[in-house]
């Protein structure tokens, strides 16, 4: 194990040396051809393979071999949209460290790194992933934690080099082989030289090769190519296909929220990730892993903003049975519900809105008025309980809107996150403070007044009538016929479907969710939200051409999570990058 004195003296110096070099030479990676020439790895060491031209013969509908991805859209010019540098989220960072270095530091990462900011509806949006001094200090500390935690540092180093001498051959082999995994592509010559210089710092102090390798690991972990997802925007005009390593990285973070494995690296090195068949086969392989389930749950957490239930309070006088334990059980309910439908049963994603099943702990079952069936999360058939079943009858969703069960907040959430619509801001000077609920004036009454008010109706009629379907659900997720003031509650309303202007009426929450589950707008919105999460930025008009192909492919499929992942991975925008002069 590296002596802590050396770690303390050199951790910052090695990171500064590499970081300064990378800042000077940023953008020098130019694709597969940048791989440094080597004599090959030692026996048992990971291999990057050799770039090679391939002739796939009959590609059965695969994309052609042109530099610009195929994108045929009526009346639209293909543009993959802005290519923004993306810092790894805390979740992605923990996954990446474990995959590359074999150490689980997720708890420490959550503790030391600042929490992510929500931007455009997600916490992985590139514009919100700023880097502060607190991040820099945390990455420095986490790099030290990683090397300290390695149970056999010498053994780990031995996986990436056949010798452990301070020679150009030994240092170069280690840097190139581990660097491929850490930077998710072959190193540039400047990056290679900067990392080898870290070995020199250790040698000057009389330390061992293994100690020097530990400093190299720490330097890699604090470098931009490790902490960010960076792609080459070589001088050009329009778009180019991503290279093999870029595509491998895009696939791995799409499916796993982590780095490529050896199979993907081999496919990248042989330039195999250009065909539809190979990409689809890789997606299918990757979806069989536990990492894929965990990554999909991270999307659900972000899409539905489930973190808002952490320590969520409720008025103890109005909701005496509410506890943080109930809130946690509601989040677990949504997680397990999604996992059961999407992964265990491979059902269409639209079934999330209408599936008549619930996954409850004994405490939550009792809270919902059901008879507990056993310990832990159990599956409940709620087909005989019209008030339960489907995503928006779950407590995690019904807690939207504060203690007053605001129909504005509930309706707006569905409007933006289920139908991908966005209302205009209120006119200047309008008092948006909601009137209080009182005897003779229910939340529904107040909402109907807004919908009838000429000043407010233009926006509010678009989304509030959806929330009327949740009118009998209280702020704590319970179901009632009257509110706390004795006002009768209703759950009839209508959905105004985007693009059609049609108002489809419903009598209860179940009918409302049937309407949503059957609407093209809902399916298209979920595909758009997932794509936005995958590319780390809000969709713009530049994405219309690619999204048209993606939406068509998804609409013509069975509508499962697998189908959506394939549609994203095969879309022109996902397979290309904008290049500029």
Mean pLDDT by runs of 10 across the 581 residues of the chain is: 48 47 43 42 36 38 49 73 92 98 98 96 96 97 98 97 96 98 97 96 94 97 97 77 96 98 98 97 98 98 97 94 97 98 98 97 96 95 91 96 93 97 82 85 93 88 95 95 93 93 92 96 98 97 94 98 98 91 64
Query: Both 365 and 486 in a single domain?
Result: yes
Residue 161 located in a structural domain? yes
Tokens at 282, concatenated = 């890789």
Is residue 303 within 8 A of residue 417, CB to CB? The reply is yes
Q: How far apart are CA 254 and CA 568, in angstroms?
A: 9
Residue 168: exposed, middle, or buried by beta-carbon count in 10 A (0-12, 13-18, 19+)? exposed
User: So what's the pLDDT on residue 29?
Assistant: 52
Comparing CA positions, the residue from 250, 296, 239 lying closest to residue 273 is: 250
* Residue 265 included in any domain: no
Contact 366, 347 (CB under 8 A): no
Half-sphere exposure of 89 (CA within 13 A, CB side): 24
H-state helical runs in 273-371: 276-286, 290-303, 324-338, 362-367
What tokens were used for 344?
């265990």
For 280-299, the pLDDT digits (tens) are 999 999 999 999 999 999 99
Q: How many residues does the chain have?
A: 581
Number of folded domains that form the chain: 2
| Cα–Cα distance for residue pair 328/108, rounded to 1 Å | 22
Whether 253 is covered by a domain: the verdict is: no
Q: Are strands 493-496 and 503-506 parallel, antiparallel or unpaired?
A: antiparallel
Are 193 and 320 in the same domain? Answer: no
Q: How far apart are CA 524 and CA 502, in angstroms?
A: 17
Q: Is 151 part of a structural domain of the chain?
A: yes
Give the pLDDT confidence score for residue 48 in this predicted structure.
34
**Tokens 């058939």 correspond to what residue?**
381
Choosing from 170, 203, 229, the residue where a domain stops is: 229
What value does the mean pLDDT of the chain take? Answer: 88
Residue 169, domain member (yes or no): yes
Do residues 90 and 201 share a domain? yes
**Residue 522 domain flag:** no
If asked whether residues 396 and 504 sit together in one domain, one would say yes
**Residue 526 domain-assigned (yes or no):** no
- Pick from 90, 453, 4: nearest CA to 307: 90
Residues 492 and 352 placed together within one structural domain of the fold: yes
| pLDDT digits 0-9 by tens, 412-442 | 999 999 999 998 887 777 777 878 889 999 9
What integer pLDDT is reported at residue 25 of this predicted model?
41
Pair 448, 310 in one domain: yes
Of 391, 398, 369, the residue nearest 475 (C-alpha) = 398
Cα–Cα distance between 471 and 129 in angstroms, integer?
37
Of 257, 292, 297, 226, residue with least CA distance to 95: 257
Is the same domain home to 206 and 310? Answer: no
Encode pLDDT of 298-331 as tens digits: 999 999 999 999 999 999 999 999 999 999 999 9
Say if residue 571 is exposed, middle or buried (CB neighbours under 10 Å; 0-12, 13-18, 19+). buried
Q: What count of other Cβ atoms lies within 10 Å of the Cβ of residue 200? A: 13
Domain stop point among 213, 229, 245: 229
What phi-psi label fits residue 347: left (phi over 0), alpha (psi between -120 and 50 degrees) or beta? beta
Which pLDDT score is estimated for 78? 82
70 within 8 A of 64, measured Cβ to Cβ: yes
**310 lies in the same domain as 225:** no
Distance CA 520, CA 517 (A): 8
Do residues 498 and 395 share a domain? yes
Alpha-carbon gap, residue 286 to 282, rounded angstroms: 6
3-state secondary structure of 83: coil
Q: Taking Cα atoms as reference points, which of 63, 6, 376, 115 lies closest to residue 242?
A: 63
What is d(CA 496, CA 505) in angstroms, rounded to the nearest whole number? 9
CB within 8 Å of 241: residues ≥ 6 apart: 66, 67, 68, 69, 274, 575, 576
pLDDT, tens digit, 9 for 90 and up, residues 360-381: 999 999 999 999 999 999 999 9
The alpha-helical segments, DSSP class H, found in 507-560 are: 509-517, 520-535, 544-555
- 241 located within any domain: no
DSSP state for residue 102 in the 8-state scheme: S
Last residue of a domain, one of 229, 261, 291: 229
**In a 10 Å sphere around its CB, with 0-12 CB exposed, 13-18 middle and 19+ buried, how is residue 424 labelled?**
exposed
119 vs 291: CA distance, rounded Å: 25
d(CA 245, CA 530): 22
Same domain, 411 and 500: yes
* 161: containing domain: 4-37+85-229
Same domain for 215 and 316 = no
Listed in sequence order, the residues at least 6 apart from 227 whose beta carbon sits closer than 8 Å to its beta carbon are 87, 88, 93, 131, 139, 221
Residues 109 and 115: their CA atoms lie apart, in Å, by: 10
Gap between the Cα atoms of 387 and 385, Å rounded: 5
**Cβ pair 364, 333 in contact under 8 A:** yes
Query: pLDDT digit string (tens) for 177-215?
Result: 999 999 999 999 999 999 999 999 999 999 999 999 999
By the 8 A CB rule, do 182 and 226 touch? yes
């Amino acid at each position: 194990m590296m002596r802590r004195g050396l770690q303390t003296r050199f951790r910052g110096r090695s990171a500064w040396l590499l970081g300064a070099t990378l800042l000077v030479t940023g953008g020098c990676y130019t694709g597969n051809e940048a791989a440094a020439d080597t004599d090959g790895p030692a026996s048992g060491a990971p291999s990057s393979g050799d770039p090679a031209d391939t002739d796939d013969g009959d590609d059965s509908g695969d994309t052609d071999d042109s530099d610009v991805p195929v994108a045929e859209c009526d009346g639209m010019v293909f543009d993959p949209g802005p290519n923004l540098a993306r810092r790894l989220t805390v979740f992605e960072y923990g996954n990446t460290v474990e995959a590359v270095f074999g150490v689980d530091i997720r708890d420490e990462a959550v503790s030391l790194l600042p929490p992510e900011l929500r931007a455009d509806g997600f916490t992985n949006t590139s514009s919100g992933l700023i880097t502060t001094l607190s991040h820099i200090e945390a990455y420095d500390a986490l790099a030290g934690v990683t090397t300290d935690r390695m149970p056999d540092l010498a053994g780990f180093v031995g996986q990436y080099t056949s010798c452990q001498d301070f020679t150009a051959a030994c240092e170069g082999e280690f840097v190139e082989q581990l660097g491929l995994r850490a930077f998710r592509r072959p190193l540039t010559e400047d990056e290679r030289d900067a990392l080898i210089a870290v070995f020199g710092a250790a040698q000057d102090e009389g330390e061992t090769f293994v100690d020097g390798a530990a400093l190299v690991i720490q330097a890699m972990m604090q470098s931009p190519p490790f902490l960010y997802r960076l792609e080459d925007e070589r001088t050009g005009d329009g778009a180019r296909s991503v290279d093999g390593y870029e595509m491998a990285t895009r696939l791995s973070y799409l499916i796993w929220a982590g780095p490529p494995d050896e199979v993907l690296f081999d496919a990248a090195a042989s330039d195999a990730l250009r065909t539809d068949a190979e990409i689809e086969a890789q997606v299918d392989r990757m979806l069989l892993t536990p990492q894929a389930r965990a990554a999909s749950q991270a999307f659900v957490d972000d899409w539905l903003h489930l973190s808002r239930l952490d320590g969520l309070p409720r008025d103890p006088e109005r909701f005496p049975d509410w506890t943080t334990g109930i809130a946690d059980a509601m989040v677990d309910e949504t997680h397990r519900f999604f996992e059961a439908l999407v992964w265990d049963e491979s059902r269409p994603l639209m079934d999330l809105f209408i599936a008549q099943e619930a996954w409850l702990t004994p405490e939550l079952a009792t809270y919902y008025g059901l008879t507990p069936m056993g310990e832990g999360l159990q599956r409940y058939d709620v087909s005989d309980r019209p008030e339960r079943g489907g995503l928006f009858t779950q407590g995690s969703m019904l807690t939207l809107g504060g203690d007053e069960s605001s129909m504005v907040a509930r309706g707006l959430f569905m409007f933006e996150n289920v139908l991908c619509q966005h209302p205009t801001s209120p006119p200047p000077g309008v008092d948006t403070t909601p009137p209080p609920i009182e005897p003779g004036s229910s939340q529904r009454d107040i909402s109907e007044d807004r919908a009838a008010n000429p000043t407010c109706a233009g926006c509010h009629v678009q989304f509030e009538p959806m929330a009327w379907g949740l009118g009998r659900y209280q702020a704590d997720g319970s179901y009632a016929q009257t509110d706390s003031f004795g006002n009768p509650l209703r759950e009839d309303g209508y959905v105004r479907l985007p693009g059609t202007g049609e108002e489809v009426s419903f009598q209860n929450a179940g009918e409302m969710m049937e309407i949503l589950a059957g609407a093209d707008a809902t399916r298209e919105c979920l595909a758009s939200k997932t794509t936005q999460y995958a590319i780390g930025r809000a969709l713009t008009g530049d994405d219309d051409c690619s999204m048209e192909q993606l939406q068509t492919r998804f609409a013509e499929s069975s509508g499962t999570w697998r189908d959506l992942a394939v549609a994203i991975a095969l879309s022109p925008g996902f397979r290309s990058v904008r290049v500029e002069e």
